[in-house]
Every structure is written in structure tokens, then in C-alpha cells.
Amino acid sequence: MHPPYPSTSVSRRRFLGQVTAAGALALAPRWALAAGTDQPRKKLGVVLVGLGSYAGDRLAPALQNTQHCRLVGVVTGNPEKGRKWAAKYGFPEQSIYGYGTMDRMATNPDIDVVYVVTPNSLHAQHCIAAAKAGKHVITEKPMATSVEDCDAMIAACKAAGVRLMVGYRLHYEPHTAEMCRIARDRDFGPFMKITGENGFAIWPEARPQTVWRLDKKLAGGGPLMDMGVYVVQAVCMTKAEASPVAVTAQFDPVTMPDVFTEVEQSLHWTMEFADGAVAHCRASYVNQWSSLRADAAGGWVELPYPAFYYDEPLLNTSRGPVERPLVNHQEAQLDGMALEIAGKLPSLAPGEMGRRDIAITTAIYAAARSGGRVAVQA
């Protein structure tokens, strides 16, 4: 796995916060500039796959404001929706693809990156189709619904010589990034006691088109796959990206059996690390949770509610609150990933990291089903 935090990462993340907030292209590092000029490199052309709520409400608007990316096409099962998007965002109708015609993207030189935003179990096939078309891939979280699918995605991107990144936007969010730095530099010593939780009330607020989240075949699982993966991510951040060695877990009682027929309603789990650190975590589709706290011998850090939502998170520490630039998460992520591609830098959120998290969630489900302690093969 690439080192997730290259030595330049702290100053680079500060830089990202500034450019996305102020649009200060003049601050662009050399690798963001076209060779031998002071002109910004051509914006990377991005295609969105699956025009649902996250693509439509967050990613497409963000792409209108990014410094280093632009929306150049879509993949959709609904051609009429595709034509509306083409008119709204100003790309040619020839750049509307179907899920079965993604191979045609190979001949479109405007497309650099394909961003997969479909239901979880479809990420693998859409990622592999994009890689075969020779395009870099960003896939939404969770990366896939099995470790085997993650391996196939990584192999396809490697064979095609393209990047594979996971849409872990919080790596590009400056407060979260500072928490990572504190963990990596051990400002307070190693974090040994960690708690994290994430959830939202999926019902009855769920819109009909998002009911796939309750369908095990499409979602791969319930709140662990959707919201808990943020907690798994954040806990690993507090351990400087170490993987847990073992997990235990329990499903919580189901109070809405008519709704949660296939996936869990809520669950809680522990993650044990080689140095003796333990994280106590929970995820839910009925509770509005979103926070993290990590304690070390010399101090603590806390991402209070709404730690993992789109709102700007706070970072409190035993030294006092930390102030960092305010950024739009999706703009910062898209620009950050574009600069990683352009600068040939290691990604902060590579496919290998997404695979690690699916290995952990797989172990958590196995522990919840068996009631035992399960070793993590990350």
C-alpha cells in the first residue's frame, strides 16, 4: 500500500484548504502547472457514473467550483436524465454513456477520471469497466461489498496503468487532516482508547430511490457499510493508518422489523490494535450520531458531532480547539485527487485503503454473526 501520508502532506493539505476556499491558483505548486509555463495544467475531465443524490446534490455542483477538474460526461441508466445533465452542465450529448457502453469512453480524450457513485455492490463492475477504458477511477465508499471485489478492482486498475482512489473526502478536510497529523506525530503519545459513532435515520425519511440501502444484494450490508465505514476509517486515522488485529461485534435489537428485513438496523463493535489500543464503535440507521474521541497518555482529540457529515467538523484537543481553513469537502477532495494524479503523488485514499476497510467490515460482520473475536486479515 502507498504510504497514505507522504512527508509533504501537511503543507499540501493546508495549501488545498486555501486554494479551494479562495481559488488562489497563483499558489499552485509546480506540478499543478503545465510543463515549462506558469499556466495551470489542463483541468482533468471527470465523468460521473450514477446520477443519484450524491452525484447530483454534491459532486456535480462541486465540479463547477473546482480548480483542477471539470464535468465532461455521465454514465446513467436514464438517457433522458443524461440529456438534462448535458444541457445543464454544458457537455456534449455524445458524452452520455450507458452502463453497458462504458467501453466507448476509451475513445473520448476529454475523459481523464471516472467517478463511480452507484450502489455499493455495483462499484466493482463500473470501476473495472472504467479501467478497461483506460481512465483513472474514483469509487465511492464503501469501495465494494467484498474483499474479492476490491482485489479485482485493484488488479484491473494496475493492469490498465490507471489510478484507483476511494471517495474518502475527509482525508482532504483540514480539521480531520490535522487529527491525522497529531496521531502520526504522536503529539500526545499513541491513542489507546478510542470511541466513534456514525448514523442517520434512514426511515421514514428515506426517498424511494435510495431504498437500495436496505437491499443486502446492492448495499452489501446496513449502517456498517454505509456509515460505519467512516468510523472504521477514523479509528485507523487515530492509529496512523494501522489496521486492527481483531474485532468483536454485536447486532443491536431490531425495533423496526418491517423495514430491516435484510440488513442490520444498528450494531456496535470493538477494534483491537497490536499495541493494546481498543476502539469502541457503533453505527445505526435509526440514530443521528457522528463523533469521534481518542485518548492518549498525554492528551486527547475529539471530532464532535457532526464529525463525519458534510458540515465543517470541529477539532477539539486537550490543548484547546484547532482552527483550520473551511472547505467544501467535495471540492477539496476532487481538487486534491486531481493534483495527486497530475503530480504523480501517492494518493491519500488509495484503493488499498478501501480494501483494508472492507477486510475490517467483513471481520466485523463475521464477529457479529458468530459472537466471537475475529482476526482481521487486512
Place of cell 499540501: 12
Told to check if 101 binds ligand NDP by CB under 6 A, we report no
Among 4, 73, 167, 199, binds ligand NDP (CB under 6 A): 167
Q: Would residue 90 be called left, alpha or beta, if left means φ above 0 and alpha means ψ between -120 and 50 degrees?
A: left
Neighbours of 288 (CB within 10 A): 12
Three cell numbers written together for 123:
462499484
**Cα–Cα–Cα angle for 22, 4, 173, nearest 5°?**
30
The C-alpha R_g of the chain, in whole angstroms, comes to 20
Told to check if 340 binds ligand NDP by CB under 6 A, we report no
230 catalytic? Reply is yes
Nearer to ligand NDP, 224 or 277 (CB): 224
Q: Is residue 261 packed enough to be buried (19+ CB in 10 Å), middle (13-18) or exposed (0-12)?
A: exposed
- 96-97: strand order across its sheet: 96-97, 69-75, 44-49, 113-116, 136-139, 164-166
Bridge partners of 295? 193, 300
Told to check if 8 binds ligand NDP by CB under 6 A, we report no
Told to check if 138 binds ligand NDP by CB under 6 A, we report no
168 catalytic? Reply is no
Three cell numbers written together for 277:
489500543
Told to check if 233 binds ligand NDP by CB under 6 A, we report no
Instruction: Choose one: 13-21, 44-52, 63-71, 358-366; the region binding ligand NDP (CB under 6 A).
Output: 44-52
Told to check if 119 binds ligand NDP by CB under 6 A, we report yes
Q: How far is the CB of 79 from ligand NDP (least distance, A)?
A: 9
Residue nearest to ligand NDP (CB): 52
Nearer to ligand NDP, 33 or 218 (CB): 218
Among 209, 257, 258, 320, binds ligand NDP (CB under 6 A): 209
Among 14, 81, 216, 280, binds ligand NDP (CB under 6 A): 81
Told to check if 170 binds ligand NDP by CB under 6 A, we report no
Q: What are phi and psi of 371, to 5 degrees?
A: 80, 5
Query: 247: closest CA among 359, 149, 338?
Result: 359
- Give dist(CA 86, CA 60) in Å, integer: 12
Nearer to ligand NDP, 140 or 335 (CB): 140
Told to check if 51 binds ligand NDP by CB under 6 A, we report yes
Annotated active-site positions, please?
141, 230
- Binding residues vs ligand NDP (CB under 6 A): 50-55, 76-78, 81, 117-120, 122, 140-141, 167, 169, 209-210, 212, 218, 226
